[in-house]
Structure 1
Amino acid sequence: MTTDAQEFWNERYAASEYIYGITPNLFLQEQLEKLQPGSILLPADGEGRNAVYAAKNGWKVTAFDISEEGMKKATQLASKNEVSVDFQVQNAAEFESAEKFDVIAFSYAHFPAEIRKNANQHLLKFLKPGGTVIFEAFAKSQLGRTSGGPKKEAMLYSIPEVKSEFPGLQFNLLREELVELSEGKHHQGEGCVIRFVGVKTGK
């Protein structure tokens, strides 16, 4: 059964161009450069730009998205770049893997409000103790701006919500800031985002 979210993203990703571009998210790139390559999980990876970047830089990459169209384009992008990525069509709240990852990177993974907290906490189960979460998403103060993001406030983030939805992390960086976005045609201009880097302290 196709959900409204799947239909939305399948329609958006059906475009011939890569609508968020083919270069990685700058914050993700900056943070990965500080880490020794290992295994990484990329939820809601869309058209694969972040997964392909990570694979090109020595990471063992698993990436998923709810959109079949997005994952088709991601597979094509990986092939063009001659890298191997385990791309899967999955729902975040139902993702399963026998593997635990060194890094989980959330790049604008705005899950539907009714599943978001459960999905985020479910995905943390697949992070190794001592593993790192890298996160960038639109803040609630983004509402009304034209530079991208969901139009529903409940799908946007506040810092208290981040702390609540990602328990068991030591936040080495957690801030809301205004950044200049240039990621394809849907992320353009000044955007209000929340960024964090957190390390898993428990089991």
Structure 2
Amino acid sequence: MDARAWDAKYAASELVWSREPNQLVAAELADLSPGTAVDLAAGEGRNAIWLAARGWSATAVDFSQVALDKGSRLAGDLDVTWVCADATAWTPPGPVDLVVIAYLQLPAEERRRSVRGAFTMLRPGGTLLLVAHDSTNLTEGTGGPQDPAVLMTADDVLADLAGLEVEVVRAERVAREVRSADPSHHEHGGDVRRTAWDCVVRVVRH
């Protein structure tokens, strides 16, 4: 999907994603002291906005200017820099304390390049957090991409980082509860809980 297609997707609705941060991103990063952060493939910037509200100086990078414009309106006066660029190729002007990659679903070779690029943005002691739809979500979970080529496991991501100075804090498959309307129960307002499977990788650069 190219930038124009995402522009159209973001232009078609008020908010494609929620205003709240991804629940796994929020849970993992709540204990970190604020610093400089980059949110790659940020979309409307919900994770960058959440970080900025917690005192971070955040940069949101996405190739959809429409999404970034919406995020900028949501962010108001918060400290977020909005950058329209290819998240797989962009680099910050200097080392940062945190890089977040949430649901950037790419084929293996592109993913490896993106993950390694993101890690090299970090200063020593900096954190990379990746959250993605797990490979097992296709058969065991709900939602997410239906193309196995863009799904991954925590082990895949760690393999992407092979040879780099990595301290692994967390690398595992995690259940995420998803609420969805069930059309067969519409008379009850049908709020159905389903489980999606994500992979979460949190590493620190030595």
The answer, yes or no, to whether TM exceeds 0.5 is yes
Shift of 1:146: 7.3
Please point out which of 134, 149, 158 is paired with 2:153: 158
SS at match of 1:119: helix
> Match for 1:91 among 70, 79, 86?
86
Distance 1:70 1:166 in 2: 29
Q: How far apart are 1:78 and its partner, in Å?
A: 0.9
RMSD over aligned CA atoms reads 2.0
Task: Using the TM superposition, give the Cα deviation of residue 92 of structure 1 relative to its aligned residue in structure 2, in angstroms.
Answer: 2.2
Partner of 1:61: 58
* Larger deviation, residues 60-69 vs 10-19: 10-19
Aligned to 1:94, the other structure's residue is in SS state: coil
Determine the structure 1 residue equivalent to 2:184: none
Please state how far the C-alpha of 1:98 moved relative to its aligned partner.
1.4
Instruction: Say which structure, 1 or 2, has more relative contact order (CA 8 Å, 6+ apart).
Output: 1
> Highest CA radius of gyration, 1 or 2?
2
**Paired letter, 1:89:** C
- Number of aligned residue pairs: 192
The equivalent residue for 1:174 is 171
Q: 1:109-188 alignment to 2 at 5 Å?
A: 109-144=104-139, 147-167=142-162, 168=164, 169-181=166-178
Q: How high is the TM-score relative to the length of structure 1?
A: 0.86
Change (3 A) 1:106 1:182: farther
Deviation of the 1:177 alpha carbon: 2.4
Amino acid at match of 1:107: A
Aligned to 1:195: 200
For 1:200 and 1:172, how far apart are their aligned partners in 2?
A: 11
Deviation at 1:132, TM superposition (A): 0.8
Contact 1:92-1:123 within 8 A present in 2 as well: no
Counterpart Cα distance in 1 of 2:196 and 2:141? 8
Query: 1:67-121: CA deviations, max 9, x gaps?
Result: 1111111111112xx3131110111232022121111111112235552211221
Report SS of the residue matched to 1:97: coil
TM-score under structure 2 length normalisation: 0.85
- Aligned pair partner of 1:44 in 41, 50, 61: 41
Partner of 2:14: 17
Alpha-carbon distance in 1 for matches of 2:103, 2:110: 15
One-letter identity of the residue aligned with 2:125: G
Deviates more, 1:100-109 or 1:114-123: 114-123
Give 2:189's aligned residue: none
The Cα shift of 1:144 comes to: 4.9
SS in 1 for 2:159: helix
- Asked whether the equivalents of residues 95 and 123 of structure 1 are also in contact (C-alpha less than 8 Å), the reply is no
